[in-house]
Structure 1
Amino acid sequence: MGAREDLLAIPDEVLRSGRIGQAVLVFMDFLDSPQRWWSGFGDMEAGGHTWQGLGDLITISPISSTYQVSAEQVTFDVATTPEMLALALDAKARVRDRSVTVYLQLFAMDDVEVSDDEIRYGQPIGSPMSLYSGTMQRMPWSATGSNQRTIRIEAEGNFFRRNMAPRGRWTDADQKARYPGDKGLERMALYAGGYESRWRG
């Protein structure tokens, strides 16, 4: 069922109750250890999965909700300890080019429990709706003072490589890497700045 069908399936009295909340859920497909989390507290059951609440340990940059094809970048800032930072930097190969999806989940607030240190959300309504899909790329980090460290995971939209050829760049080196001994692109560099060939009759 798609997002439109999910929304239409919500009873009208629930939508008009004024007791509807929303939460952001994130799936990061790390190599060997995929993670599902959301920016709240406690575990949330939604879409057939358990999402771990990370509270304010991770922040997400704004995501536009346009319908056009976009190569939008989204960043995730993670507060880390020195030990976590070292582990993350050693795990770059498990992150780069792996997929990330951000979802929006609606839920009923009739049974919300609020305490001084956490908010537990109520019953999810419908399925998580995809807001953003991309791949994780660079992981720059920063340190402020002696005990504040942040690592950033930069994610690029699924269309950020749309201008690249399907099999890489059209260069002699790339062609020979794909097909050893192939000479089809040996003269490609000659044509890059314009090339005129004169034929004798």
Structure 2
Amino acid sequence: MSDSTEIPPIDLVIADKSPLVQTALASLFGDNKRFHLVAVCADGERFMEAVDRLAFTIGVIGWDMPYLHGRGVLEALRERPDGPRLVVYSGNGSVDVPRQVMNLGGAGFCSKSEPPEKLIETVLAVSEGRMMFPFIDVHRAVDDPLAGLTAREHELLASLAGGRTNAQIAADMDISLNTVKFHLKNLYSKLTVHNRAQAVACYLNARGSEG
């Protein structure tokens, strides 16, 4: 006779841009009897397709993903009270990302720098209805996408908003064109945008909200 008090496994879907991370998480959760791994996705769009097609209670998603990033997934699910609870699992170094996740209705955040056991602990807590986040300064409750940028990135963003080209920025900052491109890539990732125009719009919106 089976134990009627046995807890059913937690239905889970994973989304991450890295095939290596996908494989590692599939192994981490797939080998654990407390979880039922429903699907593994490579980006946010595929994850949203899984939300429409499959039944699951927890999603573990990346923050920086192609096609639809973590912020976009959270925004898409805010109006769906029957949707899965989301844990963002990210290597993004911006200290502002966990706060953005919380403000957007996410249930938890775990850094990829943490040991795997921490992610397991986070997902289990979220499945029980708890919120799991690192320390967040509640006095910074306003969602400021620029809060996590370095001084160099703030300078770069201001240059973009001023209409400076990559070559002009390189000359202004006395750095190579390749270094400018490297900084831009990191900047776009932190702002979860895809191009110069979106970065400038983000900058102007944030500055406008301060006035």
Whether TM-score is above 0.5 comes out as no
Higher gyration radius (CA): 1
Higher helix share: 2
- What's the TM-score once normalised by structure 1's chain length? 0.25
- What's the TM-score once normalised by structure 2's chain length? 0.24
Higher strand share: 1
